[in-house]
Structure 1
């Protein structure tokens, strides 16, 4: 019995604890429902206020619309006669359209369209003829201008070439004179073979650049002579200039093999070769200039 009583008391205690937990949960739910009810009441009040404001706005808009409708009715009453006249005129116009013969109108429109097409065709033909005539005149004028320009350009090129020939000839003479003056001031020997090139022996073969490479008398004397060794430096002959310091062939009876090289490393050209190259360059430039002019005028 004691054990049964203890188990019953334990069960009662558990039931009480469970009941208390349930009661607390129920109270919490009640509090939440109460809070939600209060929030809903607040939201309802806000919604009611908005509805009241909207109702007042609708009433105001309705009153304004009613006033405008009243004004429109007054205007319509004032212009009722004009509206009736407009209706009558519209009806008369509609009746007139019904009375018109649309087939005759279509024929008249087609005839007017054909007359307009013929007139436009005639005007286009006249305009095309005028344009062809103007184009032919323009082409003839262009040919005259191109021919005149070509003649003037050829004259200009010939004048430039003549001036260039004259200038280059003078420069070649000046170069020959300067070479003789430099050679006279530094050495009396040929810059190729380092032989005597004084005024007593006559000049022999002269290179394309105007320099003396050997003397005619030495060439005759050296026909049967043995070839000598080539000097390694011009200092053996006591020549101190930069031009005379180069090494050249000293074989007798034949022109020296190397040719003086300019400071830029190129072989000097003859002035007639330079003129020929310059003439070709001007000819190409003339053709290109005429072609560009024709393209621009076209």
Structure 2
């Protein structure tokens, strides 16, 4: 991540560390519970098939606890991040005014600054969830079905090899897209139809290019998913097993591939954030406090 973006994120963490620790502790708890979900579900399936209803009911209690933690996390999220954005927007406006930026540029950059809050509110928890689900599911499969776990780690290695090139291309696309978006207020101010058409045509082309890359990634991940399920079916068919075990294996694979599917979108968001970090100054400065007192 570029230096200015990192400094901005670091500043947000320093100023709101207690609130963010609480939020991400809830994210960690929620993900830990969902990572254990296939094991509890498999246990419940076997208990039902054996006629042991009481043991199966443990699964219902587990689901209730998991959703309760999720509900608390979502409630805390809104309160924490609405407050963070309010303070961040003020910092951006004050800093850009001191740098003698015109109002249209300031408005555009305040809108862009929202992406830093979105990073913590949406993208970081999603990234955190994806990493836990990808690595956690593969790790759990080591104990549940080792051969399938090897296949999952092979898929992970394949995508990691191509990741740097994918990120570099995304960085370039978001650089060019945000160049256009930052000029949008000026283009609207010109109020010329041909200029407006040209501007929005270019913006559309960049968005389509980004979307096409995401669609291709989705397709490639789909191929990987089908191969993983193929391996799992062959392995499970070659041995004696029970319904709960089969369900656990299939669910861990599903969690693995669904989280992989989130990765392209997350990489796009990080590329966007890096570029925004080079454009805006959202860090709190000492002279802000002096201006407030004057």
* TM-score clears 0.5: no
Q: Give the structure, 1 or 2, with the largest relative contact order (CA under 8 Å, sep 6 or more).
A: 2
Task: Name the TM-score class by shorter chain.
Answer: under 0.3
Larger radius of gyration: 1
Higher normalized helix content (fraction of residues): 2
In the superposition, the TM-score normalised over structure 2's length comes to 0.23
